[in-house]
Amino acid sequence: SAAFLGSVVEKIGPRQSALLCGIFYGVGLVGSALAIQLQSLMLLYIFYGAIGGIGLGIGYIAPVKTLVNWFYDHRGLATGLAIMGFGFASAIAGPLIRLLIDSIGLIQTFLSLGIGYFILIFIASRLIQPAPPDYIQKTASGQMNRQQKQYTVHEAMMTKEFYALWFLLFINITCGIALLSVASPLLQEMTGMTAVAAAGIVGIMGIFNGAGRLFWASVSDYLGRDVVYSGFFVIEIISVLLLSQLSAPVPFQLLLFVVISCYGGGFACIPAYLSDVYGTRQLSAIHGRILSAWAMAGIAGPWIITWSRSMSNQYNNSLYIFAVLYACALVVSLAVLVHLRKKRKATLLALKENTAV
């Protein structure tokens, strides 16, 4: 839905998009209660999977362009805060949902969440205020943006950079989501930790996932998105190779936290990265299209690690596969970095010439 409805978000604006998100997500959860009451698996797929999923996708991209326009000089920080919220939400919602299920039952929990989320999202949608059209030009980097070509989603998808960035996001999520999906058995196999202790570490990984979104996105405002993305893959290559050789629990945990922080950072940096390359004219639609990499990675990551485990009866070989994938992404990221630096230099030169005139 993020990929296919990004253009709709552009047309109706962030406030109406957020409201649409609340409607779909609320209906998805309330409908799930009905599905459970009727004991219908197909209805659960429709309401929780499809309708709720559409609301989730719209809600993910709805605020991004607005934040970029209001905080153009600090796009990484702004989008990092929003996407950090998406990552940290499970730390709040998980215990709350468990408490509700134990207190009022599964059906009532879905009903309560559906109504509660709709009310919260409705209030939030009324608070969103798009930046005035000329506001971005008053910022320092907004002057740079004015000289930059403002791409439509179709124009962006005709460029090589789009598919390069899609590939970088795909690899980062594929490996990250695979590690998350088997973190507990991986820790038990490689370090000898108990299932209870490993489960606790998985919870802490969620914190690093969320914190990495804010940290790396903020760093990208100073170092540049292209540098940070290349840095992700250097760090991840070194980390997974070290993980393959380690059995001591503490160093193993620390390296896992580092990798997961880069995984979360990849999500947070990509909207600002896209605005660097394509401007802000149709950023929501372009961001939505690039997120199709997330959907594909959600299939590829767990499949790769499951296949590797079945072939060798251990998780260790999966880490070498991830190192190779990260290395391929590093090569692509460096090529993109060099290309974008040349384009940025040409744009700065044009800006200086116009200023002189």
15-74 pLDDT per residue, tens: 999 999 999 999 999 999 999 999 999 999 999 999 999 999 898 888 888 888 888 888
**Out of 101-105, 130-134, 164-168, least confident range:** 130-134
206-237 pLDDT per residue, tens: 888 888 999 999 999 999 999 999 999 999 99
Predicted local distance difference test score (pLDDT) of residue 72 = 84
Predicted local distance difference test score (pLDDT) of residue 146 = 57
75-92 pLDDT per residue, tens: 888 888 888 887 777 777
Rounded to whole angstroms, the Cα distance separating 325 from 306 reads 16
Question: Using an 8 Å Cβ cutoff, are 306 and 316 in contact?
Answer: no
Predicted local distance difference test score (pLDDT) of residue 141 = 55
Predicted local distance difference test score (pLDDT) of residue 351 = 61
In the structure encoding, which two tokens stand for residue 64, read together?
């991004």
Predicted local distance difference test score (pLDDT) of residue 328 = 96
Q: Taking the chain, what is the end-to-end CA distance rounded to the nearest angstrom?
A: 46
pLDDT above 60 for 286 = yes
What 3-state DSSP class applies to 189? helix
What count of other Cβ atoms lies within 10 Å of the Cβ of residue 304? 18
Greater pLDDT, 134 or 271? 271
Predicted local distance difference test score (pLDDT) of residue 333 = 95
299-332 pLDDT per residue, tens: 999 899 888 888 888 888 889 999 999 999 999 9
Rounded to whole angstroms, the Cα distance separating 264 from 59 reads 18
Rounded to whole angstroms, the Cα distance separating 339 from 331 reads 13
Q: Which of 52, 74, 305, 285 is nearest to 180 (CA)?
A: 305
* Residue found under tokens 């292209």: 226
Rounded to whole angstroms, the Cα distance separating 79 from 217 reads 7
136-173 pLDDT per residue, tens: 666 655 555 555 778 999 999 999 999 999 999 999 99
Burial class (CB in 10 A: 0-12, 13-18, 19+), 11: exposed
Q: Which of 114, 94, 118, 110 is nearest to 38 (CA)?
A: 110
Predicted local distance difference test score (pLDDT) of residue 261 = 93
What count of other Cβ atoms lies within 10 Å of the Cβ of residue 355? 9
Predicted local distance difference test score (pLDDT) of residue 312 = 81
Rounded to whole angstroms, the Cα distance separating 75 from 268 reads 10
Return the half-sphere exposure (C-beta side, CA atoms, 13 A cut-off) of residue 245: 5
Rounded to whole angstroms, the Cα distance separating 140 from 324 reads 40
238-263 pLDDT per residue, tens: 999 999 888 888 899 999 999 999 99
Q: At what angle do helices 283-290 and 160-181 cross, to 10 degrees?
A: 50
Rounded to whole angstroms, the Cα distance separating 34 from 293 reads 32
